[in-house]
Amino acid sequence: MAGVTHDARPPLLLASASPRRRELLAALGASFEVRPADVDESPRPGESPRATAERLAAAKAGVVAEARPDALVLAADTVVIVGDRDLGKPRDEEENRRFLRELAGVRHTVVTAHHLRWGDRRATASIATEVRLRELGEAEIDRWVRSGAGLDKAGGYAIQDLGAALVADLHGCYTNVVGLSLPAVVAAAGRLGVALV
């Protein structure tokens, strides 16, 4: 399978329902199909947030690859880590408020685990980006929470669109925080012999 060219590359499947991941992958100019994978995303006892993300990305890729072994399957899972704790996605508006109060002015880590699978071959990459939200007043937090934009996002915030105004600075890959590190995806596909760009 090594040495595959643009013309001969396998079908590309994105094992995610995330519109942000879909937009990022489309930015590469690659044609792909969206095939979300339904897996239990509960962390296991004693499992680190990074290990959880890596296990879930692999599980999502495995579900889709089982049905389409001919395709290159890309799956990812993103976690927001404060200290050694994964904030997850807020369950409701009140938890979203708590998350933003906890993150305001605090440096934290966003890890996206990427898993690519083509037949019996695999390539993985876990990318960490350090992010700091600016200090946020209660009125700002309330406006963000009422927008509903944080309810389906790890940590309860986004770095793109309206959420860009929440972020003071970051160190590392911007697209990683959105949900896919495009440089990591391209490099991992390359290790499998597939040129995405």
Q: Which residues pair with 123 in a beta bridge?
A: 116
Give CA 64 to chain center in angstroms.
17
Task: Say whether 77 is catalytic.
Answer: yes
C-alpha atoms less than 13 angstroms from C-alpha of 22 in its C-beta half-sphere: 9
E-assigned strand segments in the chain? 12-14, 33-34, 72-82, 85-86, 107-118, 121-133, 167-171
Q: How far apart are the C-alpha atoms of 126 and 118, rounded to whole Å?
A: 18
Among 77, 142, 152, 161, which one carries the catalytic annotation?
77
Q: Which residues are designated catalytic?
A: 77
